[in-house]
Amino acid sequence: MTLLRVDASIQGDQSASSALADQVLDQFVTARPDVPVVTRHLGQQPLPADAWASAIGGNFTPEADRTEAQRTAIALAQEIAGELQSAEAAVLALPLYNWGVSQHVKTWIDLALAGAPHGAELLQGKPVTLIVTRGGAYGPGTPKEGWDHSVGYLRRIVEEVWGAELTLIERELTLVGVNPALDAFADLAAQMHSTAQEQAAKAGADLAARHSA
Amino acid sequence: MTLLRVDASIQGDQSASSALADQVLDQFVTARPDVPVVTRHLGQQPLPADAWASAIGGNFTPEADRTEAQRTAIALAQEIAGELQSAEAAVLALPLYNWGVSQHVKTWIDLALAGAPHGAELLQGKPVTLIVTRGGAYGPGTPKEGWDHSVGYLRRIVEEVWGAELTLIERELTLVGVNPALDAFADLAAQMHSTAQEQAAKAGADLAARHSA
């Protein structure tokens, strides 16, 4: 039994999404120090750009005829699929980048799908906390309403394809304090931050309670 | 004056999207053999997975303090942005993969955005043919209706962010003849194929006419 944590920020110590994941984990680990936490940081150690095509090519090649690159790629794909399959819960901290899914996250999803049997529900019935952070505001009535093209896709994969029970935590306006043009939204940003922190702490406590049940 | 062709298939000679791009180009090149065609194949020569984060880091670092990796990444980002900026027309052959944007295409978009001034409309007013191919059926009433998460995002970037005049060509059921489960759809697939081929030939002729005007 493990808890899988996946990060995709390229902001290192400044990451808003990783900070929220830290809060989920703090609650969880305090209550359940016995559960190993498996981590994968897609932003800091990106998966190779040529692995997915090699894994797909390898999957269509008889085992004895596979190239070394195909074997390596299939092993990586199976490792990634195995991390999802063997986890009993997961925390995914996946920022919105350029209005879409992080390039590194799409590579991870492609490899996970290539590394598992077709149609495998890698997270079936498992509690998954999905943290999505956005630099600006995307709510109803804002100029960028509808410009978050990541959450719909991530729900599709994590909930529908992989079968997880999803808890979604969103935090917007993370660039307030970084981009002076957003200074007018300081109060709203602080409120959104505080709400997300409460949701993260609750998600961690819920995960721990579920695991000890 | 150049025409930019971008491919993202990982299927090589079997690619349905590249075959349609070939048809656009055949029409265009026959009519306008004088126009240089710049090509970038994101599926066969994937962009490196660590370039985008390095380019972003470099953009926030004074030029004299940049690491070698940051310099290389910024040069790549500027090269990609420059290909878009200097093209007078573009043909983008971008298959749907795992219900979303190709990982390699998202990397290309991220780098193009990192390599240009913020808000630059790299394709402003330029004619762009976007070819999207899908293995199955995603139309109204099909089980996978709504599962194409790529076209909405690609339109957002190519039309709204980069300002192109878009012609969208879609071909579905490309796996008919490959996946026996789809054999019942052979007639519909053939019709979709034929329609897409006509649209591709027309798009190429239109591009050529526009350029000679």
Q: Nearest-CA neighbor of A91 among A153, A27, A135, A148?
A: A27
pLDDT band at A60 (very low <50, low <70, confident <90, very high): very high
pLDDT for B23: 98
B171 phi and psi angles, rounded to 5 deg? -130, 130
Q: Which of B57, B103, B113 has the CB atom closest to A98's CB atom?
A: B113
Q: Is the pLDDT of residue A121 over 70?
A: yes
**B10 and A53 in contact by Cβ < 8 A?**
yes
CA distances from B210 to A95, B29, B32, B92 (A): 41, 13, 11, 18
Would you tell me which residues 173-212 of chain A have a C-beta closer than 8 angstroms to some C-beta of chain B?
none
A127-133 vs A165-171, strand pairing mode = parallel
Q: What percent of chain B has pLDDT over 90?
A: 97
**Contact residues on chain B for A12, CB-CB shorter than 8 A:** none
Percent of chain B at pLDDT exceeding 70: 99
Residue A210 confidence (pLDDT)? 86
Q: Work out whether the CA dihedral A88, A75, B46, B78 comes out positive or negative.
A: positive
Q: How far is B97 from chain A (nearest CA, A)?
A: 8
Q: Greater confidence, A125 or A211?
A: A125
Question: Do B40 and B76 meet the contact criterion of CB atoms below 8 Å apart?
Answer: no
Q: Chain A residues with CB inside 8 Å of B161's CB? A: 99
- Count CB neighbours of A186 within 10 A: 12
Radius of gyration over every alpha carbon of chain B, rounded to an integer in angstroms: 18
Task: Indicate the residue type of A161.
Answer: V
- In this structure, what DSSP letter does residue B149 have? -
SS3 A87: strand
Q: What is the average per-residue pLDDT within A152-168?
A: 98
A96 touches chain B (CB under 8 A): no
DSSP state, residue B129 = E
pLDDT at B213: 57
Q: Which positions in chain A touch B57 (Cβ < 8 Å)?
A: 10
CB-based contact A193:A171 (threshold 8 Å)? yes
In the predicted structure, residue A213 carries a pLDDT above the cut 60: no
Alpha helices, DSSP H, located in chain B? 16-31, 51-59, 68-86, 103-114, 151-155, 186-212
C-alpha to C-alpha distance for B55 and B57, rounded to whole angstroms: 5
The closest alpha carbon to A144, from A78, A101, A99, A90, belongs to A99
Q: Is B115 within 8 Å of B72 (Cβ atoms)?
A: no
Q: What is the pLDDT of residues B45-84, one digit of tens each?
A: 999 999 999 999 999 999 999 999 999 999 999 999 999 9
For residue B170, what pLDDT is reported? 98
Write down the pLDDT at residue A135.
Answer: 97
Do A100 and A150 touch, CB atoms closer than 8 A? yes
Angle at A86 between CA A11 and CA B96, to 5 degrees: 60
- Report d(CA B122, CA A46) in Å as an integer: 27
- Judged against a pLDDT cut of 70, whether residue B212 lies above it is answered with no
Residue A91 has pLDDT above 90, yes or no: yes
- How much is the pLDDT for A212? 67
Going from the C-alpha of A129 to that of each of A5, A29, A194, B69, B78, the distances in angstroms are 10, 15, 17, 34, 37
Residues of B with Cβ-Cβ distance to A52 under 8 angstroms:
10, 103
Report the alpha-carbon distance of residue A183 to residue B88 in Å, rounded.
39
User: What integer is the mean pLDDT of A39-48?
Assistant: 98
Across the range A183-198, mean pLDDT stands at 96
Counted across chains A and B, CB pairs separated by less than 8 A come out at 81
| pTM: predicted TM-score of the whole model, two decimal places | 0.97
What are B137-150's pLDDT values in tens digits? 999 999 999 999 99
A64 in helix, strand or coil? Answer: helix
Q: Please state the rounded mean pLDDT for residues A52-78.
A: 98
Measured between beta carbons, the chain B residues lying within 8 angstroms of A53 are 10, 43, 46
Q: Measured between CB atoms, which of A47, A56, A57 is closest to B49?
A: A47
Write out pLDDT tens, residues A2-35: 999 999 999 999 999 999 999 999 999 999 999 9
Contact B103 A97 (CB under 8 A): no
